[in-house]
Amino acid sequence: MNIVSLLPAATEIVDALGLIDQLVGRSHACDHPAGVASLPALTKARVDASLASGELDRRVREIVQQRLPLYMLDEQRLAALQPDVVVTQAACEVCAIEYRQVEGALKRTAPHARLVSLQPARLNEVLANVGEVADACDVSRRGQEIVGRLQARLEAVSSASPSPRPRVAVVEWLDPLMLAGHWVPDCILAAGGMPVGPPAGAPSPYASWEQLSSFAPDALVVAPCGFSLERTLAEIGPHVERLRGISPDVLVMDGNAYLNRPGPRLVDAVERIAGWLRGERQADSAACDLGAAGVRV
């Protein structure tokens, strides 16, 4: 079976299902597991993702206002791969190539391929997506087993939730400020916190620093969408004083690998945040306490 994934989270699901050797193509953003970098990339971003946060946000909004696609698809290469299953998404036009682009391309290049579109808004829907990909790839039982293990890990974390639950806000973008919605509030709740900000399942909204402060969070998690921990620490300097003024407890995370990506590693993120809320020090390539990050105010 030839599988093409046009979504980083889907690539991770394919890997979790033990089908990574059947993956023949990927999106430009698929970077986990490490071996997928050798596979042909079928998409390309119209905007340089290395731009500073403020400029990147401005350029993306300009392109969206012009009704241009943010991503381009290499249809010729897609056709050459002769995919049996193509996994894409319909949740966010900013995060990955749009479903309609992929659907149209497959009609022209691989009409017999099975198209799977993921559109999770809640944590339970992310787990359900694992089953959907498994079904499409004819490994339904394996998918059920993986989902069962992920659910068991979440239940184990929830059983150790503190009381009372600390109020936790999650920052998804720093310039301009955005708060994390979709599945992230569910992750905070599963980790033992009380999410404040947008409700679970709602899109991530722009916000003011005053609005964030008004939620009176006991703790903040900073995980900009698509950013590694290293990149976040490189950009967080001008915002450190504001963040610490809102809450003395600030966890900086690799948002790209964990909270932003609706795949199996969301459970890793829940476990990591749960440990932090219990007072465990964080300082590695995945997350670190702001006070331990070497950031100077």
Answer whether residue 113 is part of any domain: yes
The helix, strand and coil proportions of the chain, stated in percent and rounded to the nearest 5, come to: 45, 15, 40
Burial (CB count within 10 angstroms: exposed 0-12, middle 13-18, buried 19+), residue 1: middle
Residue 15 shares a structural domain with residue 95: yes
Report yes or no on whether pTM surpasses 0.85: yes
Rounded Cα distance, 212 and 179, in Å: 8
Q: Do 86 and 171 belong to one domain?
A: no
Kindly state whether residues 167 and 288 are assigned to the same domain.
yes
* Nearest-angstrom CA–CA distance, 239 and 248: 13
103 and 218 within one domain: no
Residue 220, helix vs strand vs coil? strand
Provide the pLDDT for residue 166: 96
Same domain, 171 and 113: no
Let me know if residue 168 belongs to a domain.
yes
**Residue 14 neighbours by CB distance under 10 Å:** 28
Q: Do 240 and 165 fall within a single domain?
A: yes
77 and 193 belong to one structural domain: no
Rounded mean pLDDT of the chain? 93
165 and 94: one domain?
no
| Last residue in a domain, options 92, 119, 146 | 119
Which residue reads 């979504």 in tokens? 7
Q: What is the pLDDT of residue 293?
A: 55
- Same domain as 173, residue 272: yes
Q: What's the whole-number mean pLDDT along residues 48-52?
A: 87
Q: What's the confidence (pLDDT) of residue 64?
A: 82
pLDDT of residue 296: 44
Residue 48 pLDDT more than 50? yes
Residue 43 belongs to domain with CATH number = 3.40.50.1980
Number of H helices, E strands in the chain: 11, 12
For 116-163, what is each residue's pLDDT tens digit? 999 999 999 999 999 999 999 999 999 999 999 999 999 999 888 888
Structure tokens at 112: 């017999």
Q: Which residue has the tokens 């749009």?
A: 98
Final residue belonging to a domain, choices 119, 152, 181: 119
- Domain with 260 in it: 161-292
Q: Is residue 183 part of a domain?
A: yes
Count of structural domains, the chain: 2
List the structure tokens of 23.
């993956």
- Identify whether 283 is part of a domain: yes
Of 12-26, 84-98, 118-132, 228-242, minimum mean pLDDT range: 84-98
Is 137 inside any structural domain?
no
Short-list 75, 79, 102, CA closest to 90: 102
Rounded CA-CA distance 103/92 in Å is: 15
| Residue 297 scores a pLDDT above 50 | no
Domain boundary among 67, 94, 119: 119
| Domain shared by 109 and 165, yes or no | no
- Average pLDDT (49-57) is 89
Structure tokens at 82: 């002769």
Distance CA(86)–CA(99), nearest Å, equals: 11
Place of tokens 């679970």: 200
Q: So what's the pLDDT on residue 27?
A: 96
Q: Per residue in 247-291, pLDDT tens?
A: 999 999 999 999 999 999 999 999 999 999 998 887 788 899 987
Specify whether the backbone of 179 is left (phi greater than 0), alpha (psi in -120 to 50) or beta. Answer: beta
At 21-41, the pLDDT tens digits run 999 999 999 999 999 999 999
Task: Please tell me whether residues 186 and 113 are part of one structural domain.
Answer: no
Among 31-35, 89-93, 180-184, which stretch is predicted with the lowest mean pLDDT? Answer: 89-93
The answer to whether residue 155 is domain-embedded is no
Structural domain contains residue 211: yes
Q: d(Cα 201, Cα 183) in Å, to the nearest integer?
A: 6
Query: In the structure encoding, which two tokens stand for residue 197, read together?
Result: 């900000």
- Quick one: pLDDT at residue 221? 98
Mean of pLDDT values over 212-222: 97
Residue 28 lies in a domain: yes
CA angle, 128 then 194 then 285, to 5°: 70
Residues 170 and 276 in one domain: yes
